[in-house]
Amino acid sequence: MKVVIYGLGAVGTVFAGFLKKSGHTVYAVTKEKYIDKFKNNLITIKGIWGDFKTNLDGIFTNTDHLKDKEIDLIILSVKSYDTKNILQDIGKILSKNTFVLVAQNGYGNYEQLTEKFGSNQILLSRIIFGAKIIKTGMVEVTVSADDVKIGDPSGKIDKSKIKYIVEQINNSGIPASFDPNVYQTLWDKILYNCALNPLGALLKSNYGDLASNPETVKIMNNIIKEIFTVCEKNNIKLNYSNSDEYIEYFYRKLIPPTSAHYPSMYYDLLEGKKLEIDALNGAIVQLAKKVGIKVPVNETITNLIKFEEKKNIK
């Protein structure tokens, strides 16, 4: 395939490295402030899936140099707050044969893509591996709780085409599988991230510490319960019949393999970067307002993160 990775953060760099290493043509788009840090288009991957270096086929600050490349797949891995700003640039290389894979955190990214381009070419993924940036162009894969789940919430895309993309990603060394219910599966991740990411950032704690403390457990449980209520009122289908069922699974299956992991929001806060709270707990607050209900725990967490963001942003 000819692939464009749009956003060379931790997740984007992992996709770029493994797909290039397995023989695909891989271009990337990154912000102008980072472009000079990529010497000879080199990226380095370390961690649980192996250590290697590889040279991408080109790294650019926009898609102008890629208009004649007949791109097969765009993997969108920018922060959620940047999605709106890059839609026009993505549109320049989106032919009728190009698929876009949303590989981002939170709620609202898939919705923005389908509103702009329709749903016939937009794939959704749930990513639950952890990676951290050591320095620009060098990323360590630290943990993986499950496959990258990929699917088409609209049901309009030929399943054989989706499965081909899934196969290429899986064969590259990133565990991946097709998921016909990927939208519900993504909401599993939204639940997971809303419960853990802001608290981990605010309290400078890993997931295991949060899950072993009765005070933070109470907060996380209330975050989860509010989200279930919001989803029910907004007719958003989840994979679990009630919050208690998810909470049991959360502590029994999801936390143990990721117990030593710190959320990306923690590292972003340390580095003075903008935070993705509006696509997580902030999105829950907005969905609650839409149906006229209150979510005081999610709203409090959102406000605390926004305070820290304004205090620390560089």
Q: Any idea which residues carry the catalytic annotation?
A: 189
Distance, CA of 218 to CA of 168 (rounded, Å): 41
Strand order of the β-sheet with 2-6 is: 58-60, 25-29, 2-6, 73-76, 99-102, 122-126, 148-151, 176-178
Distance, CA of 62 to CA of 27 (rounded, Å): 11
Tell me the backbone φ, ψ of residue 11, rounded to 5 degrees.
-65, -45
For the chain, give percent helix, strand, coil, nearest 5: 50, 20, 30
Query: Scanning the structure block, which residue is given the tokens 């840090």?
Result: 37
Q: How far apart are the first and last CA of the chain?
A: 38
Distance, CA of 256 to CA of 245 (rounded, Å): 17
Written as one letter, the residue type at 40 is N
Beta bridge partners of 4: 27, 74
Distance, CA of 237 to CA of 235 (rounded, Å): 6
Distance, CA of 200 to CA of 308 (rounded, Å): 13
Distance, CA of 102 to CA of 125 (rounded, Å): 6
CA atoms within 13 A on the CB side of 189: 24
